[in-house]
Homo-oligomer: A and B are copies of this chain.
Amino acid sequence: MMQYECKIKVRYYETDQMGVVHHSNFIRYIECGRTDMMEHYGFPVEQLESSGIMLPVVAIEGKYKMSAKLGDILRVVTKIDKVPLAKIVFKNEVYNQNGDLLFIGQVSLGFVDMKTHCPVRCPEEMAKAIEKELNKQ
């Protein structure tokens, strides 16, 4: 298991009239989680895109366990447990500062050539880095 964590502070505009963070923002928080993870491990999205590969989301699922509130500092956990081929799957958990699990879910993204819009395989360098990381543990 390859795991990465980042902290996200709830922003005022992310709340809704129920007085809690609007559910759609968790979909955005976990994007921050995987973007940071990819950067941390040496394959930032910017670099992937400038090499001509996009990484659109193909599937998403999540369960909301508890709400987040203004003032909360969320811990976004992002995991990869398989070497990516044509797709990469990120698993996520979001906790608040008290350790309560707020959200659990996963997102699948596909590697796509920017010009042809055809699916491609995960760049070898990225796949190897992930494989190496997974073997470490």
**Chain A residues in contact with chain B, CB under 8 A?**
11-13, 15-20, 22-24, 27-28, 31-32, 35, 44-46, 49, 54, 56-64, 67, 69-71, 105
| Contact A24 B18, beta carbon cutoff 8 Å | no
A32 to B11, CA, bound (A): 6
Residues of B within 8 A of A57 (CB): 23, 64
Q: What are 9 inter-chain pairs, A to B, with CB distance below 8 A?
A: A12-B16, A12-B31, A13-B16, A16-B17, A44-B71, A46-B70, A57-B64, A59-B61, A61-B61
Name the one of B17, B24, B58 contacting A70, with C-beta atoms under 8 angstroms: B17
Chain B: which residue is nearest A8 at the CB level? B11
How far apart are A4's CB and chain B's nearest CB, in angstroms? 15
Question: What's the minimum C-beta distance from A53 to chain B, rounded to whole angstroms?
Answer: 11
Name the B residues within 8 Å of A23 (CB-CB). 27, 56-57, 60
A52 to chain B, nearest CB (A): 12
The interface residues of chain B lying within 8 Å CB-to-CB of A15 are: 16-17
